[in-house]
């Protein structure tokens, strides 16, 4: 009996301890700057307590449990939480008519659908053999083997025009 107690306690010391959630402090100052910490917020900051859930490896949860949020003020004026604002979005100059996947497929298949940029066409086909400008339209002419040629027509802003 005396030998089993120390063995039992020493065995318990080596068992893994799993912590699945912790409380994170979201501190926001008067200028809107946000800091996440497990320590407290400084005086004059808005404090939002959030439970962070870290699923253990191998867990196949389809969604995370909702975090319980409680709001306390540490002396700052009563500010409402601000939603994040998306500042910029990629603009290809042609109205983003082609998605990245459509653009990639067209380049792989050597196609020039409406909405491609001059840069895309030159990346795919190289520099043109001849450039023809007329009434605000620019036409790239590519000479192929056996005397044939292909043309790509751009509008006044440099986007491939659709077929009419």
Give the C-alpha separation, 26 to 46, whole Å: 8
Over residues 61-72, the pLDDT tens digits come to 655 555 555 555
Over residues 7-23, the pLDDT tens digits come to 666 665 665 555 555 67
- Per-residue pLDDT of 73-105, as tens digits, reads 555 555 667 777 666 667 777 878 888 888 889
Close Cβ partners of 129 (under 8 Å, ≥ 6 residues apart): 141, 142, 143, 149
Radius of gyration of the chain measured on its C-alpha atoms: 31
């Amino acid at each position: 009996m005396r030998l089993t107690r120390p063995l039992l306690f020493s065995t318990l010391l080596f068992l893994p301890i799993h912590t699945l959630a912790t409380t994170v402090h979201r501190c926001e100052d008067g200028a809107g700057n946000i800091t996440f910490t497990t320590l407290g917020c400084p005086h004059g900051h808005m404090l939002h307590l959030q439970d962070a859930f870290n699923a253990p490896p191998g867990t196949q949860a389809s969604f995370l449990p909702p975090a319980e949020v409680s709001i306390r003020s540490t002396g700052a004026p009563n500010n409402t939480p601000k939603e994040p604002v998306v500042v910029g979005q990629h603009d290809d100059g042609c109205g983003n008519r082609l998605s990245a996947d459509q653009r990639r497929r067209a380049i792989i298949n050597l196609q020039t659908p409406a909405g491609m940029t001059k840069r895309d066409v030159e990346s795919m086909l190289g520099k043109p053999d001849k450039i023809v400008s007329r009434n605000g339209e620019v036409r790239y002419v590519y000479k192929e083997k056996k005397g044939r040629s292909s043309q790509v027509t751009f509008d006044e802003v440099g986007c491939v025009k659709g077929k009419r």
